[in-house]
C-alpha cells in the first residue's frame, strides 16, 4: 500500500500544544506503551488466582489437556471452536507447567498487550493523555470484565495486532506489514472463526475504500498479504488432513450456524441480568446508593452504543474522504471504522450481548478516545460537552472497575486444587469432596457443564463432550453421552439438577421443548442416586451421584 503524505498522521495545532505540554519526544512515545504494558500486567496479576468457577472457562483448559494426552479436536473430543486456543494453551502447559496460575497468566499477558495497542491505536489522532486513558479503560474495565481462560481474549489480542499491522501498512507502504496483516488475520480466524471472518471483512472494506480514494496498493503488497492469509489456513488443513478429519473439522466449524446462534440469540446489548439482579440494582437502597449503582453499571450500557457511533463516524469519514482532500487522518478514521464494522458484524451474528462487546473492549475504547479528545471532531457542542463527558467516563468507569476489583480482592476462601490454589468469594464444597473421592485422571461426568471442575480436580469426562448445553447441543450428542455412561457402570456423576433455571436468563431463545425434555438428565435421575449435596461459590447446587447399585464411598 503506497504511503499518502508522510509517515505519521497529521498533527493539528491543538494536538501539537498537547504534545508540547506533555514534553513528548520520540523516545517517550516509544517508552509509554511499554510502561502501559507493564503496569497493566501487574494489575491483571491481581486477578489471576480469583475464580467464581464460571462454566465456560474449563472448555479451553480441558481441550488443552486432551491434546496433551494425544487426542485431536473434532475426532476425539467435541468442539465448535477453531483449534488455536486449545493448542496455544497446550503449548503454555508444556513449556511452563500445567497449572491454573499459568493459564491465567496467559490471559493477563493478552490483556496487557491489548492495553498497549489501545494506546498506540488511539495515539495516532489523540493526545498521549487521552490515549493513555483509553488504555487504562482497556485494562480496568475491559480485560477484567470476564477474566477467564477463553478463546475470546486470545483472538482479541491477535485482532488488535492485525489492525495495528494494517495501519502500519497504510502509513509506510512496506510490504512486510502486508504479510503480517494477512498472517495475523488468519490466526484470528483459527482462534475464533466468527471474529476472524468479521475482521477479514472489515479490513477488506477498509482497503477497498482507500483503493477508491486513490490510495493504491502494490502487487507485491497484495501478494504478500494473500500469502500471509493463506499460510496458517493451509498448514491447519494439511495437519488435520494427515489425520483424515478435514471434513469433520469443517463441519465442526460450521456447526454454530445451526446450533449456537439459535440458542444464543439475544437482543442487541442484552445485559444478562436476572430479575433478582435487576431488583438489587434498581429497587433497593437509599436514593444516592441507587444513583451510584446506576453509574457503576452504566458502562455496560454505554459500550454497546460505541459500535453504533462507529458506523456513524464511518459515514462521516467516507463523506470527508470523497468530498474533501484525502488526509492521513481521514484515511485513519475510514480504515479503523471499516475494520470495527466488520467486528461488529461478527458479534451481531453470534451473540450481541454486553459481554461479547466487552470482549472487544480495546477497539471500542479507541472510539471513546476519539469522542473525548480527537482534535478532528471539533463541533462546538462536542467541545463544550467534553469536560462533562470526561468526568462522567472517569467516575462511571472508575466505579465499574472498582466493583470488579473489590469482587476479586474480597475473595478470601482459599481452595487447594490439583492444579494449584485458587481464591473464591464464597465456600465451595465440590472440589474438596471430588478430590477426596475420585483419584487423579479418573472419569467424572459434570452435567450439564462446568468443565472447570474437571480441570481443577484433574478428572476427565467419560465421553467426547466436556460440556453439554440443553437446547444447543443436538439429540444425537445426548445419546452419545448416555451410551458412554451405560458402558461405565461404576462411573460417578456430578449433576446440577436446577441448571434449567439458568436457561431463560442466559439463553432466552432456547426452545421450551428442549428444556422440558432432557434425555441425559432423565437417564441420570433414573439410574443414579445422590451420595452428597454440594454447593459452588455462586450458590449452584450439585449432586454427587453414583449408580443405584453402587456404594457411596
Query: Tens digits of per-residue pLDDT, 393-439?
Result: 999 999 999 999 999 998 999 999 999 999 999 999 999 999 999 99
Mean pLDDT of the chain: 90
Q: At what angle do helices 151-172 and 84-96 cross, to 10 degrees?
A: 100
Confidence at residue 319, expressed as pLDDT on a 0 to 100 scale: 84
pLDDT (average), residues 454-460: 96
Q: How many angstroms separate the CA atoms of 485 and 419, rounded?
A: 26
Mean pLDDT highest for which of 161-165, 173-177, 268-272?
161-165
The ranges assigned to domains in the chain are 13-268+304-365, 270-301+380-410, 413-547
60 to each of 85, 104, 397, 485, 514, how far by Cα in Å? Answer: 7, 12, 30, 23, 26
- Would you call 212 exposed, middle or buried from its count of C-beta atoms within 10 A (0-12, 13-18, 19+)? exposed
Confidence of residue 65 (pLDDT cuts 50, 70, 90): very high
pLDDT in tens, 492-537: 999 999 888 888 888 888 877 777 788 999 999 999 999 999 999 9
Q: Residue 81 in contact with residue 194, Cβ under 8 Å?
A: no
Question: Rounded to whole angstroms, how far apart are CA atoms 412 and 506?
Answer: 28
Instruction: Please say if the pLDDT value at position 278 is more than 90.
Output: no
Counting residues of the chain whose pLDDT is more than 70, the rounded percentage is 93
pLDDT tens digits, one per residue of 378-396: 889 999 999 999 999 999 9
The stretch 270-276 carries a mean pLDDT of 82
Which residues have CB under 8 Å from 441's CB, separation 6+?
A: 458, 459, 460
Tell me what the mean pLDDT of segment 171-180 comes to.
Answer: 91
* Structure confidence at residue 3 as a pLDDT band (50, 70, 90): very low
Task: Tell me how far CA of residue 41 lies from CA of 47, 142, 222, in angstroms.
Answer: 10, 13, 36
Q: What is the predicted pLDDT for the residue at 23?
A: 47
Tell me the per-residue pLDDT of 295-348, one tens digit each, with 9 for 90 and over. 999 999 999 999 999 999 999 888 887 766 667 888 899 999 999 999 999 999
Q: Give all strands (DSSP E) within 276-419, no chain letters.
A: 413-417
End-to-end CA distance of the chain: 69
pLDDT exceeds cutoff 60 at 12: no
Cα 118 to Cα 123: distance, rounded to the nearest angstrom: 8
Does 456 or 55 have the greater pLDDT score? 456
Q: Is 536 exposed, middle or buried (0-12, 13-18, 19+ CB in 10 A)?
A: buried
For the chain, count helices (H), then strands (E).
25, 6
pLDDT at 10: 46
Taking the model in full, what pTM does it have?
0.92
Q: What is the pLDDT of residue 490?
A: 67
Amino acid at each position: 500500500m503506497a504511503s499518502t503524505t508522510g509517515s505519521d498522521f497529521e498533527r493539528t495545532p491543538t494536538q501539537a500544544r498537547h504534545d508540547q505540554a506533555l514534553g513528548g519526544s520520540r523516545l517517550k512515545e516509544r517508552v509509554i506503551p511499554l510502561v502501559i504494558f507493564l503496569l497493566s500486567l501487574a494489575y491483571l496479576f491481581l486477578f489471576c488466582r480469583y475464580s467464581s468457577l464460571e462454566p465456560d472457562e474449563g472448555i479451553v483448559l480441558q481441550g488443552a489437556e486432551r491434546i496433551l494426552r494425544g487426542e485431536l479436536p473434532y475426532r476425539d473430543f467435541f468442539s465448535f471452536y477453531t483449534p488455536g486456543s486449545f493448542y496455544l494453551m497446550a503449548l503454555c502447559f508444556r513449556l511452563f507447567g500445567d497449572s491454573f496460575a499459568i493459564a491465567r497468566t496467559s490471559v493477563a499477558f493478552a490483556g496487557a498487550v491489548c492495553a498497549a495497542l489501545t494506546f498506540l491505536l488511539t495515539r495516532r489522532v489523540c493526545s498521549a493523555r487521552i490515549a493513555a486513558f483509553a488504555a487504562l479503560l482497556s485494562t480496568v474495565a475491559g480485560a477484567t470484565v470476564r477474566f477467564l481462560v477463553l478463546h475470546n481474549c486470545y483472538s482479541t489480542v491477535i485482532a488488535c495486532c492485525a489492525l495495528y499491522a494494517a495501519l502500519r501498512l497504510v502509513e509506510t507502504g512496506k510490504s512486510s506489514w502486508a504479510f503480517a496483516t494477512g498472517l495475523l488475520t488468519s490466526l484470528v480466524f483459527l482462534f475464533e472463526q466468527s471474529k476472524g471472518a468479521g475482521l477479514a471483512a472489515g479490513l477488506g472494506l477498509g482497503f477497498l475504500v482507500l483503493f477508491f480514494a486513490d490510495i493504491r496498493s502494490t502487487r507485491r503488497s497484495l501478494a504478500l498479504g494473500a500469502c500471509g492469509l493463506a499460510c496458517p489456513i493451509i498448514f491447519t488443513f494439511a495437519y488435520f488432513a494427515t489425520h483424515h478429519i478435514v471434513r469433520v473439522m469443517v463441519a465442526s466449524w460450521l456447526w454454530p450456524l445451526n446450533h449456537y446462534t439459535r440458542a444464543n440469540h439475544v437482543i442487541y446489548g442484552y445485559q444478562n441480568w436476572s430479575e433478582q439482579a435487576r431488583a438489587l440494582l434498581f429497587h433497593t437502597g437509599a436514593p444516592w446508593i441507587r444513583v451510584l449503582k446506576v453509574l457503576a453499571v452504566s458502562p455496560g450500557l454505554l459500550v454497546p452504543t460505541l459500535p453504533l457511533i462507529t458506523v456513524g463516524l464511518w459515514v462521516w469519514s467516507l463523506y470527508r474522504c470523497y468530498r474533501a482532500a484525502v488526509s492521513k487522518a481521514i484515511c485513519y478514521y475510514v480504515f479503523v471504522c471499516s475494520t470495527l464494522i466488520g467486528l461488529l458484524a461478527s458479534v451481531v451474528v453470534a451473540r450481541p450481548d454486553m459481554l461479547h462487546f466487552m470482549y472487544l473492549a480495546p477497539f471500542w475504547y479507541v472510539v471513546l478516545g476519539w469522542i473525548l479528545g480527537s482534535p478532528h471532531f471539533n463541533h462546538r457542542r462536542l467541545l463544550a460537552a467534553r469536560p462533562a463527558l470526561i468526568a462522567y467516563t472517569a467516575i462511571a468507569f472508575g466505579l465499574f472497575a472498582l466493583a470488579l476489583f473489590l469482587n476479586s480482592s474480597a475473595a478470601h476462601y482459599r481452595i487447594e486444587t490439583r492444579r494449584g490454589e485458587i481464591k473464591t468469594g464464597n465456600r465451595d464444597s465440590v472440589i474438596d469432596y471430588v478430590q477426596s473421592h475420585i483419584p487423579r485422571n479418573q472419569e467424572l461426568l459434570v452435567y450439564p457443564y462446568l468443565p472447570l471442575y474437571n480441570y481443577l480436580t484433574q478428572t476427565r469426562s467419560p465421553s467426547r463432550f466436556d460440556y453439554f448445553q440443553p437446547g444447543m447441543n443436538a439429540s444425537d450428542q445426548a445419546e452419545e453421552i448416555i451410551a458412554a455412561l451405560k458402558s461405565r457402570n461404576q462411573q460417578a456423576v456430578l449433576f446440577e439438577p436446577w441448571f434449567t433455571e439458568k436457561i431463560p436468563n442466559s439463553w432466552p431463545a432456547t426452545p421450551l421443548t428442549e428444556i422440558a425434555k432432557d434425555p441425559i438428565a432423565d437417564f441420570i435421575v433414573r439410574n443414579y442416586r445422590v451420595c452428597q449435596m454440594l454447593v459452588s461459590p455462586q450458590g449452584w447446587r450439585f449432586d454427587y451421584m453414583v449408580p443405584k447399585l453402587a456404594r457411596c464411598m
